[in-house]
Amino acid sequence: MTYVVKDNCIACKYTDCVEVCPVDCFYEGENMLVIHPDECIDCGVCEPECPADAIRPDTEPDVEKWVEFNRKYSEIWPVIVTKKDPLPGAEEMDGKEGKMELFSEKPGEGG
């Protein structure tokens, strides 16, 4: 099992999760985070830290596509281990539908 970041993170990018991760498996894009599925040790400490409820276990239905999505971007984005401010307007974007239209493939700063 692994945990993945789903589309609710897009345009929010809360980073509370990165500080509790014992193996530094989060990677930062311009407007969301992902988890490297091969580095995640399935401890689950990140899941309750996410204010947007964007982190889910891969055992849930219809999550397989997110495992590959997280893998793809974790291999090209920089690692993030330090909490940062969420994106402007994160509270308003939390829970909105159709956020994939806002997804950016650009890397974040990491750190």
9-20 residue pLDDT tens: 999 999 999 999
State the pLDDT confidence band at 1, using cuts at 50, 70 and 90: confident
Instruction: For residue 83, count CB atoms less than 10 angstroms from its CB and return exposed for 0-12, middle for 13-18, buried for 19 or more.
Output: middle
What pTM value is reported for the model?
0.96
**Domains in the chain, ordered, with CATH?**
3-85 (3.30.70.20)
Mean pLDDT, the chain, integer: 97
